[in-house]
Amino acid sequence: MGKLIEELKQDIQYQHGMNACLNCGICTAVCPAAEVYDYSPREVMNICHQEDEEALIELLKSDKIWYCGQCFSCTPRCPRGNSAARVILALRRLSIRYGYFAESEKGRQQLFAKRVFGENLLKRGLTLLATNITPQNFPELGEFWEYYFEHMKEMREWWGVPMDLENSPGSHRIIPEKDMEELRAIYKATGALELMEAIEKGMEKKLGSKEEVEKYWQTWLETGDSRNYQLKKEKEEDK
């Protein structure tokens, strides 16, 4: 048995998510990602089940594992008690550890996950911040959201949910520094920092340098679409 298969089998989410899969396809039938992408949780389960190392590596390098929306709709409906959602969680961590995530377009978006969710947590103790929900990135929230965004502090006071209070249990509060230190210690001790670091490193390896990673990030910040960044290989092909 291959090394990656062995490692996958050690992951508790894999152990809890994978019994014998009968390939019935119920998970795919109810999956919202299968509806819009070239994606099938049944296929993912099948590849894992076959324990073919090469096929697994190909899967870890592909967009497929990143399509899943983690809704768990597949989970209660599986007649075998499997959870493709949990298997996906294990596959994604394996893909990050080996740098394979950077081989796919959707995988490279992990840089945003790390720099938004991850760094928000480390800086503020909250995964999302009010300032992340910009009208530019969320135009569907509409014109009244734009108004709210311009008057964020006053609007939140008016609604009775003032923000950024210190030493308060309130909404979007400033978490005391001593609690933040505890949180950071937990992130370090449990391997989350290492996982986040692996994302930065994997991106650097794929794009060639730290400067290129910053370019990729800036492109996303400025245009909201990472596809506006051209990989070296794509650039050469254009020439």
* Residue 196 binding another protein, by CB under 8 A: yes
Question: What is each CA distance from 104 to 45, 48, 101, 142, 190, in whole angstroms?
Answer: 20, 19, 6, 32, 27
Q: Specify the long-range contacts of residues 214-217, CB closer than 8 Å, at least 24 apart.
A: 216/108, 216/111, 217/111, 217/112, 217/115
* Residue 22 binding ligand SF4, by CB under 6 A: yes
The residue assigned the tokens 């960044």 is 229
* Residue 148 binding another protein, by CB under 8 A: yes
* Residue 25 binding ligand SF4, by CB under 6 A: yes
Neighbours of 168 (CB within 10 A): 11
**Ranges within 59-118 binding ligand SF4 (CB under 6 A):** 68-74, 78-80, 82, 84-85, 88
Partners of 174 in the β-ladder: 166
Number of chain positions touching another protein (CB under 8 A) = 84
Count of alpha carbons within 13 Å of 168, Cβ hemisphere only?
11
* Residue 221 binding another protein, by CB under 8 A: no
Looking at beta carbons only, is 46 or 73 nearer to another protein?
73
* Residue 33 binding ligand SF4, by CB under 6 A: yes
**Ranges within 65-124 binding another protein (CB under 8 A):** 66, 69-73, 75-76, 89, 92-93, 96, 106, 109-110, 112-114, 116-118, 121
Partners of 166 in the β-ladder: 174
* Interface region with another protein, contact rule CB under 8 A, candidates 20-28, 46-54, 177-185, 204-212: 177-185
* Residue 23 binding ligand SF4, by CB under 6 A: yes
Neighbours of 94 (CB within 10 A): 23
Token representation of residue 150: 């311009």
Among 19, 23, 50, 127, binds another protein (CB under 8 A): 127
45 in Cβ contact with 51 (< 8 Å): no
Q: Which of 91, 52, 49 shows the shortest CA–CA distance to 70?
A: 91
Q: Which does 82 bind (CB under 5 to 8 A by kind): another protein, ligand SF4, none?
A: ligand SF4
Instruction: Note the residues at the interface with ligand SF4 (CB under 6 A).
Output: 21-27, 31-33, 41-42, 45, 68-74, 78-80, 82, 84-85, 88
